[in-house]
Structure 1
Amino acid sequence: MVLLAEYLSINANVLNEFTKKAEIAVEVEDKDVTTFASLGWKEVLGGLKSGELGCEFLQDFAATKLDAIMWPLLGTVVPFEVRADQSAVGVNNPKYTGNLLIKSWNPLSGSVGDEATVGVTFPTSGAVTRATS
């Protein structure tokens, strides 16, 4: 599969026109429950789950564009949706949804001659769900 038309929505704002990369990652803590009965083998159980949404955007400072959308969200928890393609959600195009803490915003980054980009990672707040309908 080649990602050609990834879908990203943050706080009900579809950000496809600015998004160069969106990456959802989830994990679970491993908790060591090893005892002497383990006979020298480590045993683990899953603990708390967490996630992150990493994004790379092309910046736009126009009145209704990316910076104007994201700046007011700083410090708030907002809903998100990400999927591999902009087409309808289905078994071949699941959606991942949840809430994000807009923990940081890097409005300007780049060197001479570079495109103005924004690279950020937002921690999830609460459950991340996967749905096919």
Structure 2
Amino acid sequence: MPKMVLTAQYLSINANLVHGNTRKAELSVEVEDKDVTTYTSLGWKEVTGGIKSGELGCEFLQDFAAAALDSIMWPLLGTVVPFEARADQGAVSASNPKYTGSILIKSWNPLTGSVGDEATVSVTFPTSGAVTRATS
């Protein structure tokens, strides 16, 4: 079974390449479990899938320069924008699928940290609508 070490993730938010500032990106999707247990379940719980949802969690190294990370993200606060994430910056393929969808920029933490810390921003954006996976 092949192994992989993440060394060059790709991340685009609102058509802006932000992987140069990205230290960590985690896309998670899930589906609600709905209890459909009846008396014919013979004492066993039965579930079926409900509504799907997702989150894009990111840790960025902050940059306040003109046209850099903070100036890209700040105006997006409160808006729903497209994203694309891949395990590698190489071409989209069967071994490097892309995940796309939309996220709500529901928070932005421009100033965090203590004396001597790197200037980082850790945020989690909820997805809005479908998240798709493509290999071409």
TM more than 0.5: yes
Q: Which residue of 2 aligns with 1:22?
A: 25
Residues 19-71 of structure 1: CA deviation (Å, up to 9, x unaligned): 00000000000000001110100000000000000000000001110000000
Matched, 1:111 2:114: yes
Structure 1 moving runs of 4+ over 2 Å: none
Aligned counterpart in structure 2 of residue 50 of structure 1, from 35, 53, 68: 53
What is the 5 A alignment of 1:33-72?
A: 33-72=36-75
Q: Tell me, which stretches of 5 or more residues in structure 2 are unaligned?
A: none
Q: Which residue type is aligned with residue 123 of structure 1?
A: P
Matched, 1:102 2:109: no
CA distance in 2, matches of 1:132, 1:109: 37
TM-score, normalising length: structure 2: 0.97
The alignment covers a number of residue pairs equal to 133
What is the 5 A alignment of 1:80-99?
A: 80-99=83-102
Q: Considering only aligned residues, what root-mean-square deviation do their CA atoms show, in Å?
A: 0.4
CA distance in 2, matches of 1:33, 1:122: 31
Q: Tell me, which stretches of 5 or more residues in structure 1 are unaligned?
A: none
Residues 89-114 of structure 1: CA deviation (Å, up to 9, x unaligned): 00000000000000000001111100
- Percent identity for Structure 1 against Structure 2: 80
Q: Which residue type is aligned with residue 97 of structure 1?
A: T
